[in-house]
């Protein structure tokens, strides 16, 4: 099983600079809940890095344009997907946007991984 994390942002340096500016100027209107949970203004949150490095599950991280080019699928972003034979939604945009902090996201992913092992 693989988890695919798709950010509601496009790849590339100009998009990256725009996103950083948006986070600084108007963080409440930033449209990527997954970015908000897993990144500070510029760098990945330490707790998130520790979780993904210790999770024992293959994870792929893509911007929406990269995901759509690679897989030919579209979703309401951000989204976390589970890929086995098929790709299915693990956590939807609505669920991700509803998390109040990184701990909520990590707990939900851990629950899902534990359910899959049982």
pLDDT tens sequence across 38-75: 977 678 899 999 999 999 999 999 999 999 999 999 99
Torsion of CA 65, 70, 74, 78, to 10 degrees: -60
pTM, entire model: 0.82
Evaluate whether 19 touches 27 at the Cβ level (below 8 Å).
no
The whole domain housing 101 covers 2-117
What's the domain count of the chain? 1
- Give the Cα separation of 26 and 22 in Å (integer): 5
Three-state DSSP state, 13: helix
Under the banding of pLDDT at 50, 70 and 90, the label for residue 93 is very high
């Amino acid at each position: 099983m693989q988890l695919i994390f798709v950010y509601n942002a496009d790849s590339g340096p100009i998009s990256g600079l725009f996103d950083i500016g948006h986070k600084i100027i108007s963080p409440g209107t930033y449209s990527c809940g997954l970015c908000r949970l897993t990144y500070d203004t510029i760098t990945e949150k330490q707790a998130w890095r520790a979780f993904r490095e210790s999770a024992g599950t293959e994870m792929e991280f893509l911007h929406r344009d990269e995901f759509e080019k690679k897989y030919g699928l579209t979703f309401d972003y951000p989204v976390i997907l589970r890929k086995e034979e098929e790709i299915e939604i693990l956590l939807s945009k609505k669920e991700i946007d509803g998390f109040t902090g990184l701990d909520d996201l990590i707990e939900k992913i851990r629950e899902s991984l534990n359910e899959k092992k049982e």
